[in-house]
Amino acid sequence: MTFHDLSLIQPLLTAIERVGYTHPTPIQAKAIPPILNGQDLMGCAQTGTGKTAAFAIPILQRLTLKSRPEGKRKIRTLILTPTRELAIQIEENIQAYGKDLDHRHAVIFGGVNQHSQVQQVKNGIDILVATPGRLIDLHQQGYISLQHLEIFVLDEADRMLDMGFIHDVNRIIKLIPTRRQTLFFSATMPKEIKALANTLLTNPEMVVVTPISSTAETVEQSMVFVETAEKKDVLLDLLTVNSTPSVLVFTRTKHGADRVVKILAKSKITAAAIHGNKSQNARQNALNGFKQQKIRVLVATDIAARGIDIDDLSLVVNYDLPNVPETYVHRIGRTGRAGANGQAISFCNQEERAYLKDIQKLIGRTIDLHPSYC
């Protein structure tokens, strides 16, 4: 199947060609037709599957084919997502696919001054990408009206729950029209998420791709059994032997992330940390530096790393193993995206052996020992 088989309008096909996609990913092939038909959708898929394009492309087409309400532009689509990084990436995607179309869009998120966000919204926009807190805030201040909403996207619903945003999400739902198209995405389907989906969706099309435990297939995974004190030496050795330009290293704690950055700096390896104690600006700078390959190693905690989208990331190092096995799959899903080959190397000390056991149970296989550090 190609994008030409999906009944897309020419400006979108041109944009898709421009960004270099040749074939739709499975979620795109399955989700684009029902969304174009105006149906509700329940997508069980995680970041890395191409889900942003799966909803952004058909939304742009629907907004183009249906005439815009009279007068000043009104918000016709709301995309709600849990993190600032995801929000920024979704807007970047909309910008890229909608380049030749006449839709205005904006992204709003907390942690930064609201002024420029308010200005954009005031000027009139068709598509709003938002994190829940800032949306409620600007709505309460009277800057945002959702009365003309036609399409509502709830992205990463399970993470909304994990991050404690479900109450905010429920408040937002009360602000939008009941007659609308709803697209609901979640990587996992715990009870609360199923219940929320039931209240939001009408006769949804169900689309399921790559369950959490099998996403790791395109990633070459290996283990290094190592004592805590030796982890830094193994990391330095790996980075010296391996010439990979962009390496993402995960630590369990913020302090751990800062420590790793210091160790690397001493050995003249450019590195930056992103975690909750860093300001939004510092996080964005680190991410930009990493994307532009000015910084070779990005050291992240799990919350900070949620949704970061970096092309050509071929190595992920788990400096510490996560105590939640699903987190391991999320982490290594940062590499080997959209069918590319990636490598994930995990360090495991004595105390982490129990975590390893849970991870191997979830992914249904034993992770091989790294050949250089057996």
Residues lying near ligand AMP in the complex (CB under 6 A) are found at: 21, 23-25, 28, 47-53, 309, 311, 337-338
Crossing angle of helices 10-19 and 84-97, rounded to 10°: 120
Quick one: 2 or 123, whose CB is closer to ligand AMP?
A: 2
**Closer residue to ligand AMP, CB minimum distance, 51 or 159:** 51
Smallest separation, CB 203 to ligand AMP (Å): 25
Unique residue bearing structure tokens 């709803």: 182
256 vs 336, which CB is nearer to ligand AMP?
Answer: 336
In the complex with ligand AMP, the residue whose CB is nearer, 30 or 337, is 337
Please, which residue, 21 or 290, has the CB nearer to ligand AMP? Answer: 21
Token match 């800062």: residue? Answer: 258
What's the rounded Cα separation, in Å, for the pair 327 and 70? 47
CB 197 within 8 A of CB 169: no
Residue 9: CB minimum distance to ligand AMP, A: 17
Rounded to whole angstroms, the Cα distance separating 1 from 23 reads 7
* Token pair listed for 46: 């995680």
Q: What angle do CA 49, 203, 208 make, to 5 degrees?
A: 20
CB of 89 to ligand AMP, least distance (A): 7
Q: Report CA dihedral (324, 42, 107, 75) to the nearest 10 degrees.
A: -160
Please report the DSSP string for 54-100 in residue order. HHHHHHHHHHHHSPPPSSS----EEEE-S-HHHHHHHHHHHHHHTTT
Q: Residue 49 or 117: which CB sits closer to ligand AMP?
A: 49
Residue 51 C-beta: closest distance to ligand AMP, Å:
5
Report the alpha-carbon distance of residue 88 to residue 94 in Å, rounded. Answer: 10
We find the least distance from the C-beta atom of residue 309 to ligand AMP, in angstroms, to be 5
Q: Quote the least distance from Cβ 117 to ligand AMP, whole Å.
A: 23
